[in-house]
Chain A
Amino acid sequence: MTSPRRATTPAPGTAPAGAPTRLVQGAHTSGGIGASVLRPDAGLKVTGRFAYSSDLWHEDMLWGHTLRSTVAHAEIVSVDISEALATPGVHAVLTWDDLPTEVRHYGLEIQDTPVLAHGKVRHHGEPVALVAADHPETARRAAARIEVEYRELPVVTDETSALAPDAVLLHEHRTDPCSGRVPHPNIVHRQPVVRGDVARARDRADVIVRGEYRFGMQDQAFLGPESGLAVPEEDGGVHLYIATQWLHSDLRQMAPVLGLPEDKVRMTLAGVGGAFGGREDLSMQIHACLLALRTGRPVKMVYNRFESFFGHVHRHPATLRYEHGATRDGRLTHLTCRIVLDGGAYASSSPAVVGNAASLAAGPYAVDHVDIEALALYTNNPPCGAMRGFGAVQACFAYEAQMDKLAKELGMDPVEFRVRNAMTQGTVMPTGQVVDSPAPVAELLRRVEARPLPPQRPWESGEGADLRQLPGGLSNATHGEGVVRGVGYAVGMKNVCYSEGFDDCSTARVRLEVMGGEPVATVHTAMAEVGQGGVTVHAQIARTELGVAQVAIHPADTRVGSAGSTSASRQTYVTGGAVKHACEQVRRRVFEIGRRRFGTRHPAWDGARLLLENGKIVTEDGEVLAGLAEVLRDEVVEVVQQWRHRPTEPFDPHTGQGNGHVQYAFAAHRAVVDVDTELGLVKVVELACAQDVGKALNPPTVAGQIQGGTVQGLGIAVMEEIVVDPVTAQVRNPSFTDYLIPTILDTPDIPADVLELADEHAPYGLRGVGEAPTLSSTPAVLAAIRDATGLELTRTPVRPEHLTGTE
């Protein structure tokens, strides 16, 4: 596939007119980085032929089903499986007692999650037993015949009940690495960040604003449900075809529970229907393998949407208490904040979420005096972990509300106030880390501010005037008598890649050979393609680095080393970096082969810098030395290369100081809303975004990430929340009927303005894209609703009753 732009305009990096022409590797090969290459899997996806993990089928396969707890906190008095086991069509029923080894817990950071409940259940929907049967309905009915007797325990649901002197402990006798650092065993992890002298800085403040903000529990709501197919193998092992974000992390957690060495657990990535953090933790992986190994038959498991709400962790709900001070001329003096995240019953990635919330609590602003504390609780609420934005989303919602409050208090324009305090390259973070690449916070704000505003009351006049543009649409709207317009701004920052000293690496196998007379590159990684477009970008990188047109992407599996997770906006950076690095090694080897074969024919083979372009070896001046096909002949060049970004370090447990992050991503939004104050309905009219992406390797894919992330932030603002009963800790709305995500009617135009300021530390100067737009979208919408209504609005999502005063 080619980019028309590339054929007519010089590629970035080529010399300006007049200067002697020097080629840059790959700049003249079509379909390389920067080109608007189409997805390789789009054809399969639009025709229904792309095989997702729930589409798999195997002869003789059985269906697995999970029995889950109906209560949030209880002792299990007894489990009687006899009736279930006697059901015709049932092949196996498994409980804790059937687990094959002594390793019966798993977890991303802390191994506190039982594979099946033992003695106790700690949250609503916890897996208790498994059934395999020849029809999914048979499995469901058999599971319903399992008799579980519960003796209910008091539930821990919030900070007060978790930290009370007589609080029930979720996990007694903790020995995990976080346990020695926390003041109470019902705190998973705690991270302070202190810097400067807040007490003295507070004395200098002319204005001080305080706020308490509540952030609701969000669901990833990926559309492809948790699912997979486990196939027992002749050597006693198992092959799992699975939708996940990180094959090797699953493998590491699964193998010990299954009692198998890792090389007997083969993993192949099946089609993944979205992820957004919700597939970082295991769901049905171990369960399906246990059933397959027990029955000796392939076992397919597919959650329905109801079960999916219990099958993965959610975004942490949070209570955030902030105090900011500023001088009369609009300079921040200090910040104190306390962020309490509800981690639910098991740790998942709560420790890392706490680290993010604490280290990014100040946002993209220069503030020298801070006293920050973030912590995650253990409660009997649903477990929470990774979701797009990962701890930074909750903080951004709160600090951006504070910025508007301060601006108002000072009588300043909210954008002007932010710009005055915006961090830049060189700013020192509250963690002491220097921001060492571009941080165009002010420019991003200026860009969204400079856009023309959409017309007022679009349903009344103008081109395409349509009553359906009213808040609430046609169905239950007024004629707009009570509709008011508001505009709001927000900006946020998100760390890119894994942080706090994690060895964040990836592996790529790149192969170059001649097939049918054409040089063909094959890229093999274990990267989980979850929809983000990594497969497109890997091919682009290979084209640029190897100067070939044909690139095949090998299916992702565990026959190559770990790629790390498809999360933290890191895959293009890290696995992209590994592909680039492997290609560079391949290129070097090709030149060696060329020198060996043709070195005597032309002096440029020695000494001159050589490039691969359009299937040929050329000099920097564009002189062709040889074709790749004639150099390689039947030789295959294959390189497996690990690659890691520069190291980070842990935050100090007491002060939070440390170079904990490798890169930051910045995005800003301007929201325009129409609010029907009588009906309590919000219509987001436009949600403009500006983001610095360092280098857009695939511009349409970047735009797609920005628009998709923005809408998930919109969802938080006005509709999305998993409602947990405060008395029973049971989930009240586990369905798409009751948990609402934005439809095409709820979603406005999202013009995206993309900056490309290179980060010299990153491959091609790129900056991770996926998460930043989810941060600032929510507070921008909240700010716009506040602007329209004058209400304070301190919680997400904003519901109609918050706007009509009928709570």
Chain B
Amino acid sequence: MRVTFTVNGRTRQADDVWEGESLLYVLRERLGLPGSKNACEQGECGSCTVRLDGVPVCACLVAAGQAEGREVLTVEGQAAHAARRSRDRDQDPRQHEDTPNAALSPVQQAFVDAGAVQCGFCTPGLIVAAGHLLEHNPDPSDEDIREALSGNLCRCTGYGTIMDAVRLAAARKSEEVRA
């Protein structure tokens, strides 16, 4: 079958998709977007987290056909998505360019700076999940962060630096707002 949907703001089309293929498979193997990861393919680890019409989902549990006509945001689109939001909110295009590395979203930059990345296989899913959290709850408590990221397994870090990264991204955001 043919599946057409929007990925990171661009209309994409995949042909000859077998009905049993997941959204994750189509993203990774047909659209050249392997950033969403395949750690369990059982909906348990969160490494394939993408946003489907804004809502975080495990792409491995979404049949590709279910994405027809919908909007998907993956880790590859995270920086552009954050920049767009920032522009829309502030009407100030310089805002984003002033961040230390404009190729990264604030959450991505915070993961780098906080040392929240080791093997990095869980990282794309966490970036998407944490980005969603901070959009809806810009000043989360530790318990809020834990709850929001409880569907994302990490085997390397012990989560301490991931907590630090989300706190850091939130703190920078609130500084930005105050300034």
A residues apposed to B, CB below 8 Å = 38-39, 41-43, 45-52, 54-55, 57, 135, 137, 220-225, 271-276, 302, 304-306, 464, 466, 468-469, 530-533, 700-701, 703-704, 707-712, 735-737, 741-745, 747, 749-750
- B-chain residues with CB within 8 Å of residue A532 when the two chains form the complex: 118
User: Interface SS of chain A: helix, strand, loop or mixed?
Assistant: loop
* A223 pairs with B37, CB closer than 8 A: yes
16 A-B pairs, CB-CB below 8 angstroms?
A43-B112, A47-B35, A48-B34, A48-B35, A55-B34, A137-B18, A271-B120, A273-B121, A304-B42, A468-B147, A704-B118, A743-B150, A744-B145, A745-B147, A747-B159, A750-B160
- A-chain residues with CB within 8 Å of residue B103 when the two chains form the complex: 43, 47
* A531 pairs with B120, CB closer than 8 A: yes
Which residues in window 1-39 of B have CB below 8 A to A? 18, 20-21, 28-29, 32-39
- A-chain residues with CB within 8 Å of residue B154 when the two chains form the complex: 223, 744
Contact partner of B47 (CB less than 8 A), chosen from A46, A135, A223, A747, is A223
Known: A47-B103, A57-B29. A42 touches B76 (CB 8 A): no
Most chain B CB within 10 A, of A55, A220, A530, A741, is at A55
- B-chain residues with CB within 8 Å of residue A50 when the two chains form the complex: 120
- B-chain residues with CB within 8 Å of residue A57 when the two chains form the complex: 29, 32, 34
- Closest B residue, CB atoms, query A699: B115
Q: Chain A interface: which of B64-72, B83-91, B122-130, B171-179?
A: B122-130
* B155 pairs with A55, CB closer than 8 A: no
* B124 pairs with A48, CB closer than 8 A: yes
In angstroms, how far is the closest chain A Cβ from the Cβ of B30? 10
Which residues in window 99-149 of B have CB below 8 A to A? 101, 103-104, 108-109, 111-113, 115, 117-124, 127, 141-143, 145-147, 149
Known A-B contacts: A137-B21, A273-B39, A745-B150. Give 11 more (CB < 8 A): A46-B104, A46-B117, A47-B108, A48-B35, A48-B36, A703-B161, A704-B115, A707-B158, A708-B156, A711-B158, A741-B155
* A274 pairs with B156, CB closer than 8 A: yes
Q: How far is the CA of A416 from the CA of B75 in the complex (A)?
A: 51
Q: How far is the CA of A603 from the CA of B76 in the complex (A)?
A: 58
In angstroms, how far is the closest chain A Cβ from the Cβ of B6? 18
- A-chain residues with CB within 8 Å of residue B162 when the two chains form the complex: 744
Known: A45-B123, A223-B37, A745-B150. A707 touches B160 (CB 8 A): yes
- B-chain residues with CB within 8 Å of residue A745 when the two chains form the complex: 146-147, 150
Q: How far is the CA of A737 from the CA of B41 in the complex (A)?
A: 11
* A222 pairs with B119, CB closer than 8 A: yes
Q: How far is the CA of A536 from the CA of B86 in the complex (A)?
A: 32
Known: A46-B117, A46-B123, A48-B76. A737 touches B44 (CB 8 A): yes
* B42 pairs with A711, CB closer than 8 A: no
Q: How far is the CA of A660 from the CA of B19 in the complex (A)?
A: 58
- B-chain residues with CB within 8 Å of residue A704 when the two chains form the complex: 115, 118, 156-158, 161
* B111 pairs with A47, CB closer than 8 A: no
- A-chain residues with CB within 8 Å of residue B101 when the two chains form the complex: 43
In angstroms, how far is the closest chain A Cβ from the Cβ of B176? 19
Q: How far is the CA of A718 from the CA of B18 in the complex (A)?
A: 41
Known: A47-B35, A741-B153, A744-B162. A468 touches B146 (CB 8 A): yes
* B155 pairs with A47, CB closer than 8 A: no
In angstroms, how far is the closest chain B Cβ from the Cβ of A713? 10
- B-chain residues with CB within 8 Å of residue A137 when the two chains form the complex: 18, 20-21
| Interface residue tally on B, bucketed by range | 35 or more
Q: How far is the CA of A174 from the CA of B79 in the complex (A)?
A: 59
* A42 pairs with B120, CB closer than 8 A: yes
Known: A223-B119, A305-B40, A531-B118. A48 touches B79 (CB 8 A): no
- Closest B residue, CB atoms, query A39: B117
B residues apposed to A, CB below 8 Å = 18, 20-21, 28-29, 32-42, 44-45, 47, 74-76, 78-79, 101, 103-104, 108-109, 111-113, 115, 117-124, 127, 141-143, 145-147, 149-163
In angstroms, how far is the closest chain B Cβ from the Cβ of A480? 15
- B-chain residues with CB within 8 Å of residue A736 when the two chains form the complex: 40, 42, 44-45, 153
* B120 pairs with A45, CB closer than 8 A: yes
- B-chain residues with CB within 8 Å of residue A135 when the two chains form the complex: 18
- Closest A residue, CB atoms, query B77: A48
Known: A469-B143, A531-B156. A744 touches B113 (CB 8 A): no
Contact partner of A708 (CB less than 8 A), chosen from B34, B150, B158, is B158
In the A-B complex, the 7 residue pairs with the smallest Cβ-Cβ separation, listed nearest first, are A48-B35, A531-B119, A45-B120, A273-B121, A707-B158, A736-B44, A55-B34
- B-chain residues with CB within 8 Å of residue A743 when the two chains form the complex: 150-153
* A39 pairs with B45, CB closer than 8 A: no
- Closest B residue, CB atoms, query A473: B147
* B158 pairs with A710, CB closer than 8 A: yes
In angstroms, how far is the closest chain A Cβ from the Cβ of B9? 15
* A274 pairs with B34, CB closer than 8 A: no
- B-chain residues with CB within 8 Å of residue A41 when the two chains form the complex: 117, 120
- A-chain residues with CB within 8 Å of residue B150 when the two chains form the complex: 743-745
* A46 pairs with B108, CB closer than 8 A: yes
In angstroms, how far is the closest chain B Cβ from the Cβ of A517? 25
Q: How far is the CA of A472 from the CA of B12 in the complex (A)?
A: 43
In angstroms, how far is the closest chain A Cβ from the Cβ of B19? 10
Known: A137-B20, A707-B160, A737-B44. A273 touches B120 (CB 8 A): yes
- B-chain residues with CB within 8 Å of residue A54 when the two chains form the complex: 34, 37-38
* B118 pairs with A49, CB closer than 8 A: no
- Closest A residue, CB atoms, query B75: A48
- Closest A residue, CB atoms, query B20: A137
Contact partner of A274 (CB less than 8 A), chosen from B119, B147, B152, is B119
* A701 pairs with B155, CB closer than 8 A: no
* B112 pairs with A46, CB closer than 8 A: yes
- Closest A residue, CB atoms, query B101: A43
Known: A222-B119, A273-B121, A531-B120. A744 touches B146 (CB 8 A): yes
* B147 pairs with A223, CB closer than 8 A: no
Q: How far is the CA of A735 from the CA of B76 in the complex (A)?
A: 28
Q: How far is the CA of A466 from the CA of B144 in the complex (A)?
A: 10
In angstroms, how far is the closest chain B Cβ from the Cβ of A610? 35
* A533 pairs with B118, CB closer than 8 A: yes
- B-chain residues with CB within 8 Å of residue A302 when the two chains form the complex: 38
Q: How far is the CA of A531 from the CA of B121 in the complex (A)?
A: 9
Q: How far is the CA of A51 from the CA of B117 in the complex (A)?
A: 15
* A39 pairs with B152, CB closer than 8 A: no
Q: How far is the CA of A416 from the CA of B115 in the complex (A)?
A: 36
In angstroms, how far is the closest chain A Cβ from the Cβ of B132? 15
- A-chain residues with CB within 8 Å of residue B115 when the two chains form the complex: 38-39, 700-701, 703-704
Most chain B CB within 10 A, of A39, A220, A306, A736, is at A736
* A47 pairs with B76, CB closer than 8 A: yes
* A48 pairs with B74, CB closer than 8 A: yes
Q: How far is the CA of A41 from the CA of B18 in the complex (A)?
A: 35
Known: A48-B74, A135-B18, A735-B42. A708 touches B118 (CB 8 A): yes
- Closest B residue, CB atoms, query A468: B143
Known: A48-B35, A48-B74, A743-B150. A272 touches B18 (CB 8 A): no
In angstroms, how far is the closest chain A Cβ from the Cβ of B148? 9
Q: How far is the CA of A45 from the CA of B122 in the complex (A)?
A: 9
- B-chain residues with CB within 8 Å of residue A735 when the two chains form the complex: 40, 42, 44
Q: How far is the CA of A533 from the CA of B161 in the complex (A)?
A: 15
* B119 pairs with A272, CB closer than 8 A: yes
- B-chain residues with CB within 8 Å of residue A305 when the two chains form the complex: 39-42, 44-45
Q: How far is the CA of A480 from the CA of B163 in the complex (A)?
A: 26
- A-chain residues with CB within 8 Å of residue B156 when the two chains form the complex: 274, 531, 704, 708
- B-chain residues with CB within 8 Å of residue A469 when the two chains form the complex: 143
- Closest A residue, CB atoms, query B149: A744
- Closest B residue, CB atoms, query A48: B35
Q: How far is the CA of A254 from the CA of B47 in the complex (A)?
A: 31
Q: How far is the CA of A266 from the CA of B75 in the complex (A)?
A: 32
* A42 pairs with B111, CB closer than 8 A: yes
- A-chain residues with CB within 8 Å of residue B111 when the two chains form the complex: 42, 46
Q: How far is the CA of A643 from the CA of B142 in the complex (A)?
A: 46
* A466 pairs with B120, CB closer than 8 A: no
* B37 pairs with A52, CB closer than 8 A: yes
Most chain B CB within 10 A, of A39, A272, A703, A747, is at A747
